[in-house]
A and B are shown apart, each in its own frame.
Chain A
């Protein structure tokens, strides 16, 4: 595939992620912080997020499986995940965390369990989206091109 076609694919794919709500404007800020001194910054931060989120999700699974559920602890974990997901622009994960915290507030175990599945699903989906995004970027770089900046003209 020609370089221009891959660049066009990347732009269209990124656009679709915003349209489908996977990403919000905070992701653009992340990209703005990437420069020649930090060329892999976005990849590194996103990877960091998924490492930490996996640990948090495991903690949540354990916490919700206890005979006496500690909702304060669960809320703290979900709060952290809400914060980190919002910081990388993972909008659907953030929104799932907001719903989760609402069920924590009223100590609804079934609601929390449903929300946990939702959060896991959204993390899984956005992780796949990012992997595709980074793969396209790598193809562009391997072809000797530059990764286009995304202007939200849509």
Chain B
């Protein structure tokens, strides 16, 4: 493990609060152990976001697949591939995330869907939830949101 150098500086109350929050985030990243093999589909047109979200999921032992547009996501689900979790962005190339979500739900797919998007407005949140996502998360996807969901899917 890489050495940690002391900062040598006095921390304010705000800094301590921030450090506590960050420490809790670190705890979440390292402490979960999944009993079951979960699978997830990540649908994001941006390579950086898709790579990061897939790696975050893999760090928890989730097997992931990624697609970069809504049409391919719908086609993959329609082909019969099953996932425990779908993470989908709102703005996607070819077929947008709202329509892709509707089509996936219309196929009778009931798995957990997380709308993870850079959109932050209440109307966007409502639209995404109405389209069929279970949870709306503003990017970036972080362990604080993800870990409780993984635990729930794992039956913990």
Contact = CB atoms under 8 A, between A and B. Distances in A.
Interface in B8-46: 9, 11, 15, 18-19, 21-22, 25-26, 29-30, 44-46
B46 A32 contact: no
B46 A52 contact: yes
Q: How large is the interface on A (under 10, 10 to 19, 20 to 34, 35 or more residues)?
A: 35 or more
A87 B140 contact: yes
B3 A148 contact: yes
A26 B5 contact: no
B132 interface: no
Interface string B54-86: 011001000000000000000000000000000
B138 to A, nearest CB: 8
B52 interface: yes
B117 interface: yes
A70 B44 CA distance: 22
Contacts of B56: 29, 33
Q: How large is the interface on B (under 10, 10 to 19, 20 to 34, 35 or more residues)?
A: 35 or more
B153 interface: no
Contacts of A32: 26, 29-30
A11 B2 CA distance: 12
Given A29-B29, A29-B142, A45 B51 contact: yes
A83 B55 contact: no
A97 B3 CA distance: 36
B49 interface: yes
B5 A148 contact: yes
Interface of B: 1-7, 9, 11, 15, 18-19, 21-22, 25-26, 29-30, 44-49, 51-53, 55-56, 59, 89, 91, 117-119, 139-143
Given A32-B30, A87-B139, A146-B3, 4 more contacts: A26-B142, A148-B3, A149-B2, A151-B4
22 contacts: A8-B5, A15-B7, A29-B142, A29-B143, A30-B52, A33-B55, A45-B52, A48-B47, A48-B48, A52-B47, A79-B91, A79-B118, A80-B118, A83-B117, A83-B118, A86-B118, A87-B48, A87-B52, A87-B139, A147-B2, A149-B1, A154-B15
